[in-house]
Amino acid sequence: MIVALFDCDGTLFSALFGRGLMKYTNSKGRKGLVRLYYASLLIPFFLKKLGLISEETFSRRIIANLAMFIKGWNDEESKAAFDWVVNEYLLSTQRDEVVSRLRSHQAKGHEIVLVSAQYLPSLEILGKYFNADAIIGTEVEKTENRYSGRITPPVIVGQDKNLRVRELFSSQNQEIDWEASFAYADSITDLELFDLVGNPVAVFPDLKLNEIAQANNWEIIGTPTK
């Protein structure tokens, strides 16, 4: 079996899940949370700038701290939020050339897997929209049917994308032709996802990923981003 692995934010669309979630909660009167969120990232940001933590570690903090925006919400409230973020914010910025690749893989009978740091409730909506065969995303914690404001580790970035993809197909006892398979992603933190396949495709890559993609003669879709 051949698989095609797709990152979401910055890959299938240009918009970012976190910014959409902040925009939605801001419209619901939770404006103070945006300032609190950015304040929570100040120390990690400077540690990254100083080279004391990695880009991957910083990305994990960015995603984990987003859970504060849905703290206290029940299923109905969170569904309204995730529906808006996906359908009104993310999908309006689809990258047509990448979505076309996804549809082409489907037509060839390849297994489509969305692999993202996004929270699973929003990724489930995206999975249905793209008719994906499987999704892998970050779980969010619930306590007494309300979101606690925390994630259930790990955040699905870096090495955990690689690990969870392997676990998925191992649990299904499926034999994958990894050398013939594909992965599409935009960030340097996705290198370990690319390590799985014989056909990595850098999509509007950040500068570090673009440099590595060029050095390895990987396919590049779109121009580099900062």
**Tens digit of each residue's pLDDT (9 = 90 or more) over 100-129:** 999 999 999 999 999 999 999 999 999 999
pTM of the model: 0.92
Edge-to-edge strands of the sheet including 3-6? 146-152, 134-143, 111-119, 3-6, 182-185, 199-203, 219-221
Cα three-residue angle 93-91-9, rounded to 5 degrees:
75
Residue 224: per-residue pLDDT: 87
Q: How confident is residue 173, by pLDDT bands cut at 50, 70 and 90?
A: confident
Residue 35: per-residue pLDDT: 87
Domains along the chain?
3-221 (3.40.50.1000)
Over the chain, what is the mean pLDDT?
93
Residue 199: per-residue pLDDT: 97
Percent helix / strand / coil, the chain, rounded to 5: 55, 20, 25
Q: How confident is residue 174, by pLDDT bands cut at 50, 70 and 90?
A: confident
- Each residue of 71-82: pLDDT tens digit? 999 989 999 999
Contact (CB, 8 A) for 102 and 145 = no
What is the residue type of 106? Q
How far, in Å, CA of 8 to CA of 14, rounded? 9
Residue 136: per-residue pLDDT: 97
Span 8-20, average pLDDT: 95
